[in-house]
Amino acid sequence: MENVRQGDPAHFRLVEIGGVALQALLARKVERRYFTVPWPVAVYDALTRDV
């Protein structure tokens, strides 16, 4: 799916990648291992209230 950020579903496109094009992209793959930690505004506010 591309062009999603602009927000109008009429302009979304689904791009299918396969065959040689997909193989070329996968040949350049990069492994990444990391965690994301949610940081809700309420938690931030509570932790910084007394600072």
What is the per-residue pLDDT across 1-51, written as a single tens digit (0 to 9) for each?
A: 566 667 777 777 788 899 999 999 999 999 999 999 999 999 989 988 876
At 1 the pLDDT is: 52
At 2 the pLDDT is: 60
At 11 the pLDDT is: 74
Contact 14, 3 (CB under 8 A): no
CA torsion sign for 12, 13, 14, 15 is negative
Is the pTM value of this prediction over 0.75?
no
> Nearest 5°: phi and psi at 2?
-135, 165
At 4 the pLDDT is: 61
